[in-house]
Chains A and B, each alone.
Chain A
Amino acid sequence: MFMDFFRINRFPKISKVKIDMHSHIIPSIDDGSKSMESSLEILEYMSKVGYKKIITTPHTMSDKYPNSTYTILRGLEGINKALTGKNIDIKMEVASEYYMDDEFVNRLNIDDILTMGDDKYILFETSYNFKPMYFEEVVFKMISKGYRPILAHPERYKYILNPKKDFLRFKKLGIYLQLDINSLGGHYGKLAKKHAKILINLGIVDFIGSDVHYKKQVSFLEKIFTTREYHKIFLKNKILNDTL
Chain B
Amino acid sequence: MSNKEEFGDDDEIDLKEIFRTLSLYKYFIIFCMVLFGILAFIMAYFKSNVYTTHMTMEIGILGTVKSGNDIVSKAISQSAEVNPDTEMEILKSRTLMAEAIALIDISHRYYKTNNMKEIELYEDNAPFDVNLTKGFNIKFDILPYDTGHYRIKNKTLNINFIYKYGEEVKDNNFKFTITLKKDRSIQPKEIYSFEVMDFDKSVYLGQKNLKIKVAGTYTTIIEITKVDKVAERAPKIANALANAYIKRNIKKRTMEASKTLSFVDIELNKITNELKTASLNLENFKKNIKTVNFDTKSEIIMKRLGDIEIELSKLNIELSMVESLYSRIKVSKNMESILINGLFSNDIIPLSNIITILQQYRIKLETLKIDYTKDYPEVIKLQKEIKETKNILKSMVKNFRRNLLDRKKILKKSIKKEQYLIEKLAENEQIYHKLEQKFILNEKIYSYLLEKKASSLIAKASTVSRNRILDRANIAKKTGPNRTLIIIIGIFLGFIIGAMIAFVRGFIDDRIKNIEHIKKATNGVILGLVPSVKDMDKNENIGSLIVYDYPRSSFTESFRNIRSNLKFMMKSNSSKVLTITSTISGEGKTSISSNLAGIMSLTQKKVILINLDMRKPTLHLKFNLPNNRGISSVLSGYQVLKDVIQVTSNPYLDIISSGAIPPNPSELIHSEKMEEVIEELKNKYDIVMLDTPPSGLVTDAQLLMRISDAVIYVIRANYAKKEFLKNIDILSKDESISGFSIILNAVDNKDTGHGYGYGYYED
Chain A residues within 8 Å of B, Cβ to Cβ: 24, 31, 62-64, 100-103, 105, 127-137, 158-159, 161-162, 165-166, 169, 188, 191, 211, 213
> Is A158 a contact of B755 with CB atoms below 8 Å?
yes
> Is A130 a contact of B753 with CB atoms below 8 Å?
no
> Is A169 a contact of B754 with CB atoms below 8 Å?
no
A-B contacts besides A129-B557, A134-B564, A165-B5, 6 pairs, CB < 8 Å: A63-B551, A64-B551, A105-B567, A133-B1, A169-B5, A169-B6
A-B pairs, 10 with minimum CB distance: A102-B567, A63-B602, A101-B564, A129-B756, A130-B561, A134-B568, A133-B565, A127-B561, A158-B756, A102-B564
> Is A101 a contact of B560 with CB atoms below 8 Å?
yes
Partner of A129, one of B563, B603, B754: B754
The answer, yes or no, to whether B337 is at the interface (CB within 8 Å) is no
The answer, yes or no, to whether B411 is at the interface (CB within 8 Å) is no
Q: Distance (Å) between the CB of A193 and the closest chain B CB?
A: 15
- Hey, which chain B residues are within 8 Å of A101, CB to CB? 560-561, 563-564, 567
Given A129-B554, A133-B568: A161 and B763 interface contact (C-beta under 8 Å): no
Taking CB as reference atom, which chain A residue is nearest B554? Answer: A129
Q: List 24 A-B contacts (CB under 8 A).
A: A31-B762, A31-B763, A62-B560, A63-B560, A100-B564, A101-B560, A101-B563, A105-B568, A127-B557, A128-B554, A128-B761, A129-B558, A129-B561, A129-B754, A130-B529, A131-B2, A131-B6, A133-B1, A133-B527, A134-B564, A136-B2, A161-B6, A161-B8, A213-B763
Taking CB as reference atom, which chain B residue is nearest A212? Answer: B763
Given A62-B603, A63-B599, A128-B756: A162 and B763 interface contact (C-beta under 8 Å): no
A-facing residues in B511-566 (Cβ within 8 Å): 525, 527-529, 551-552, 554, 557-558, 560-561, 563-565
Q: Distance (Å) between the CB of A54 and the closest chain B CB?
A: 17
- Hey, which chain A residues are within 8 Å of B754, CB to CB? 129-130, 158-159, 161
CA distance A32 to B558 in the complex (A): 22
- Hey, which chain B residues are within 8 Å of A213, CB to CB? 763
A-B contact count (CB 8 A): 89
- Digitize B732-759: 1 where CB-to-A-CB distance is under 8 Å, 0 elsewhere: 0000000000000000000001111000
> Is A24 a contact of B763 with CB atoms below 8 Å?
yes
CA distance A24 to B763 in the complex (A): 9
CA distance A134 to B7 in the complex (A): 16
CA distance A198 to B21 in the complex (A): 28
- Hey, which chain A residues are within 8 Å of B8, CB to CB? 161-162, 165
Q: What is the interface size of chain B, counting residues whose CB is below 8 A from a CB of the partner?
A: 34
Among A63, A102, A131, A169, residue most surrounded by chain B Cβ atoms (within 10 Å): A63
- Digitize B219-230: 1 where CB-to-A-CB distance is under 8 Å, 0 elsewhere: 000000000000
- Hey, which chain A residues are within 8 Å of B567, CB to CB? 101-102, 105
- Hey, which chain A residues are within 8 Å of B565, CB to CB? 132-134
Given A133-B2, A158-B755, A161-B6: A102 and B563 interface contact (C-beta under 8 Å): yes
Partner of B6, one of A100, A128, A162: A162
Q: Distance (Å) between the CB of A236 and the closest chain B CB?
A: 24
Q: Distance (Å) between the CB of A207 and the closest chain B CB?
A: 17
- Hey, which chain A residues are within 8 Å of B3, CB to CB? 136
- Hey, which chain A residues are within 8 Å of B7, CB to CB? 161
- Hey, which chain B residues are within 8 Å of A24, CB to CB? 763
CA distance A64 to B559 in the complex (A): 13
CA distance A31 to B568 in the complex (A): 27
> Is B561 a contact of A132 with CB atoms below 8 Å?
yes
Taking CB as reference atom, which chain A residue is nearest B530? Answer: A130
- Hey, which chain A residues are within 8 Å of B5, CB to CB? 165, 169
Taking CB as reference atom, which chain B residue is nearest A61? Answer: B560
Taking CB as reference atom, which chain B residue is nearest A165? Answer: B6
Given A128-B756, A133-B2, A162-B6: A102 and B763 interface contact (C-beta under 8 Å): no
Q: Distance (Å) between the CB of B264 and the closest chain A CB?
A: 95
